[in-house]
Structures are given as C-alpha cells and as structure tokens.
Amino acid sequence: MSMKELWEESVKFHGHSCPGLAYGVRASIIAMEKLNIKRSQDEEVVAIVENDACGVDAVQIITGCSIGKGNLIIRNYGKQVFIFIKRGYDKALRVYMKPMPRNEEEGELRKKVFEKTATEEEKERFNKIRQERIEYLLSAEEKDIADIKWIDIEEPERARIFNSLQCEVCGESFMETKGRIQDGKIVCLECFRYKE
C-alpha cells in the first residue's frame, strides 16, 4: 500500500484527519520498513506506545498491533515515542517523532477555535495550517521528522489465557486474576467494595 492509501485507511478508522494521526502513520511505516512487518502478523510484532493520542489509531490499523490482541501496550509518558518489537530480531526499534516547530499563529488560532470564538476565516486558516502540517509529516524525509534507534528491550510476555471464575454476588463470569475474596465470597472487581 502506498503512503496515501495507508493515510486514508487510518483517517477512516480514526474518524478525522489530524497531525497527531500523521505522526502515527509515519512511525508505523518506518517500523514496517525497518522490521519488514506485514499487517496483522498475530503477536509477531508488539508495539509499545508512549502516548494514548491520535497516532495510536494509525499504529493499530497499519501494523495490526491492537489492544484486543494484547500486542499493543500503552505506557503513557505523553511522548511521541513508538517502540516496535519483532520476534526474531535481537533489537527493538524505537521511533521518536520530533515535534513540529512552534507556530505562533497556529497557537493563537487553536485557542480561539477551542474557545469557540474563532471567525469562519480564522477556522479556515487554522485548518489550512493543520493540513500543511499533515502534508509535511507525510512527505518529509525520515531524518527530519524522526529519531530512530535500535534498543535492547525485554520481550513482553505473550498474551496469556486465564481461567474464569463466577462472581458469587452478581453471578457473572470474570478472569481469575481479577478476583477478590470478600466476606468469604469470591467476587468480581465490580462487586468488590473497598472498606473504609
């Protein structure tokens, strides 16, 4: 798939087009190239993302690493860092997406747009600046937008399958490791009450 197709797929999944998503698209494409990743190799690739923002959706759609499969781990340090581990490689790939240079005009417009005081022209101008940022992020040379390193990292455990227990209060089934015992009963976390 071309960059354009990957971008369009990501926008469809994410629901809107934004610079944050473009960070995730570029980071994912870098990973695919450097680690020779094809989409949806079950658990062959694990992604550790250091933010929980827009770009994470691109990681899910492009690399196939997802929360549900357990091969997408969020370590929210609020950083545009994306780490990819592929089984069989002795180093992990760490991609740091560099911040875009500050743009004062954008900062002011953003404030107005969020406070809903922007005029139609200001909104248009704001969208235009964002669009330019997206285009830049998608077309710039790798070295201008990303710092790429090979790092040592421990392989995360493969997703494990646990037994189920039945809660003695609500009767619903839940994962064994999430259980508590309260007043001699096995209860789920939803029914468990912390005592003061």
Binding region for Zn ion (CB under 5 A): 18, 20, 54, 167, 169-170, 188, 191
In the complex, least distance from residue 170 CB atom to Zn ion, rounded to whole angstroms: 3
| Nearest residue (CB) to Zn ion, 49 versus 54 | 54
Of residues 45 and 167, the one with the C-beta less far from Zn ion = 167
In degrees rounded to 5, what are phi and psi of residue 92?
-100, 155
66 CB-side CA count, 13 A: 11
Q: Which is nearer to Zn ion, 67 or 170 (CB)?
A: 170
How near is the Cβ of 53 to Zn ion at its closest, in Å? 7
State the helix-helix crossing angle for 19-35 and 55-63, rounded to 10 degrees: 30
Cβ closest to Zn ion, residue 138 vs residue 169: 169
Residue 181 to residue 167: CA distance in whole angstroms: 10
CB of 143 to Zn ion, least distance (A): 25
